[in-house]
Structure 1
Amino acid sequence: MRPVRKVLLGVATAALLAGTAACGSDSGSSDAKGNGGDSEAGSGTSARSAFEALTAAARTTDEVTSADVVSVSRQGGTEAVLDGSLSWADGIEMTAVMTGDEFGSALGGSGEVEVVWVDGVMYMNLGPQFAAESDGRPWMSMDMVALMEEAGEDALGTVLSTSMDQGAQSPAEQMAMLLESDDVEWIGEEELDGATVNHYKGTLAIEDVYELQGTFDGLSEEERASLLDLLSEQGTELYELEVWLNEDDFPVKVSQSYDTAMGPAEQETTYSNFGTEVNAEVPPADEVIDFVELMQMLGAGF
């Protein structure tokens, strides 16, 4: 299987990029309190401040807990796209198709990878050619926590574990975080897919983002300091969050961005069909090979 090692590492890079963007907590978004800014929204919400509008959006996404999503993530020249359905009712569940610069059709498939996300583990169907070289197992699983622990980044593994458990990519938590920004403001009215939306933006210190999402819970003071040092070394200090709300107070578009040692990282997600049914099922165990196990088989170090 050595000829596919480079491709698999590319797949892993794309998957990590798509799956581990900064995220929110499960602390109850509708109760979030923040400064909210003093800017007023335009027509349709002209009587509301940014805080009021975002509080309404936090409430709607706390009550309606699923949607169809298209998420585009970019970092260090790498791009990954997830197109599917997402539920954040009880942790994250997702079914999607992933495409990315790093893998395309190199594994003999169509260039599209079926993805299932359940309980913090991403499962990817890499197709018949991959299955032929992995004892008939077409699915590869990526446990983000195990990956970081294998790499010797135990604190980062804890970060990822907390993130997965508490709702990565939940728009409800994204609204709650934006409400905590000291400089959240209304940017203005814009047209999006033929509809008028209101655009809001705020900035948070990355340490505050991790505090809000509960990342530091369970970490010792030494581990917390180590994590913050690592973030500082990577140049990750500020986290920008933007949201576009429709007339029904649903966030139809969310953009996140921050700096890293690999360059700027950004993720843009559009939401539609709120309340859609999501049926994410773990593939049969005899059809799955774990990424860490696979890399060990290939002799690829971390």
Structure 2
Amino acid sequence: MVMAAWKRAGVCLTAAAVVMGLAGCQDGDGGADKGGKKAGASSGAQSRTEAAEVLQAAFKKTSEAKSSKIRMTVETSGAAAEAGTVEMSGVQGWDPAVMDVTMKGGAFAVGGAGGPGQIRMIMLDGVVYMDLGEEQAARMDGKRWMKMDFKAVADASGDPEVRKQVTGGLENMNQDPAQQLALLLESPSLKHVGPEKVDGVEAQHYKGTLSFEEMVDANTSFDLLSKKERDELVAMAEKSGMKGYDTEIWVNEDDLPVKMVVGMTMAQGSMTMTSHFSDYGAKADVQAPPAGDTVDFMELLKELESLGAGSAA
């Protein structure tokens, strides 16, 4: 019984780690309301000012769209290679942040035998719901959905640091392409690479790099930290070998991003997130699963604690 409970928790925690690892770096004030050149209109190299104008126009257009379909691949290397490759596809919305996606990949094998090959994930009102499949449902009284309220988990920890980390992670969880555009606009190395075809459409390719410290300064979710805490966070990142964030964005003729690549390099390895966006304005009518089909992750943690105490007696 103890092992069964830990297996259920293992699948859930693995999925949660993947979700939090897909956090996008957001900036609530990176866009401007002035128009820019059409992304597909330039055949020659653009100056930094021209590139910024295009991305500002894309930020405005993307912000107004509020939703899109998304297809993402997350690849890791180095010491984090056990996470392998995770693929995600579905629909997302921003303002407010919602998602209804399916995730699959080697990372879920950590849940052990019987773990689902793929997981449907719904995010709504800061709560994540995960469909763990029929085999896991058999271990949970037929309830196949796991509810993970990260704020509740953080509050239960009683640790202010955990609470701050989770709050920031929740704010960043959805891959909001508008906010990624805003972040790229903050890069001092922003440049126009040139025209390229992406998924069969003409687009303009832009890239830039931000150091970890520059990312923290541009990311409003870190505003809840004091200066001392921010300095400690930057120092910790530098100690871990974090080199920064490399961002590439392809913008189509309609001033909408069709592809983004975000890369992070650390001493223990690297992670690359490649996202493809389509159908901007697609309906993102995300609904929570029925309460009767849902198990609260907090209750599972209490069960594990109880079982642990009982086995130790």
TM-score normalised by the chain length of structure 1: 0.83
Distance verdict in 2 for CA 1:101–1:152, change over 3 Å: farther
Relative to 1, partners in 2 of residues 1:22 and 1:241: Cα closer, same or farther, differing over 3 Å? farther
Which has the higher mean CA deviation after the structures are superposed, 208-217 or 9-18? 9-18
Deviation at 1:194, TM superposition (A): 1.7
State whether structure 2 residue 141 is matched by structure 1 residue 140. no
Contact 1:197/1:244, CA 8 A, preserved across alignment: yes
**Equivalent residue for 1:265?**
271
Is 1:82 matched up with 2:88? yes
Give the conservation status (yes or no) of the 8 Å contact 1:87–1:94.
yes
Alignment deviations for residues 6-49 of structure 1 (CA, whole Å, 9 cap, x no partner) = 5753553344234433524362443289xxxxxx9986224862
Hey, what's the Cα distance between the residues in 2 that align with 1:153 and 1:264? 29
- Specify which of 285, 288, 292 is matched with residue 282 of structure 1: 288
Opposite residue 205 of structure 1, the aligned amino acid is: S
Task: Name which of 179, 195, 202 aligns with 2:201.
Answer: 195
Superposed CA deviations along residues 128-185 of structure 1, whole A, max 9, x for unmatched, are 2212212332111334455567778743542441342367311111111101100011
What is the SS of the residue equivalent to 1:216? helix
Gapped runs of 5+ residues in structure 2? 309-313
- How many residues matched? 294
Task: Spell out, residue by residue over 1:195-225, the C-alpha distance to the aligned partner (whole angstroms, 9 max, x if none).
Answer: 2211111001122222222133222344333
Gaps of 5+ in 1: 34-39
Which structure: larger Rg? Answer: 2
Q: Is the 8 A contact 2:11 2:115 kept in 1?
A: no
Aligned-residue offset at 1:229: 3.3
Deviation at 1:293, TM superposition (A): 4.2
Residue of structure 2 equivalent to 1:45: 42
8 Å CA contact 1:162–1:214 kept in 2: the answer is: no
Shift of 1:97: 1.1
- 2: distance between equivalents of 1:56 and 1:123? 34
3-state DSSP of counterpart to 1:249: coil
1:246 paired residue number: 252
CA contact (8 A) 1:107 1:130 kept: no
Higher mean C-alpha displacement, 152-161 vs 168-177 = 152-161
Whether contact under 8 Å (1:18, 1:80) holds in the other structure is no
Q: CA separation of 1:149/1:185 partners in 2, compared to 1, >3 Å: closer, same or farther?
A: farther
Closer, same or farther: CA 122–234 of 1 in aligned 2, 3 Å: farther
Tell me which amino acid in the other structure corresponds to 2:102: V
1:155 equivalent to 2:156? Answer no
Equivalent residue for 1:232?
238
Letter in 2 for 1:74: E
Stretch deviating more after TM superposition (121-130 or 79-88): 121-130
TM-score (norm 2): 0.80
* 1:197 partner letter: A
Which amino acid letter does the alignment assign opposite residue 93 of structure 1? Answer: V
RMSD: 3.2
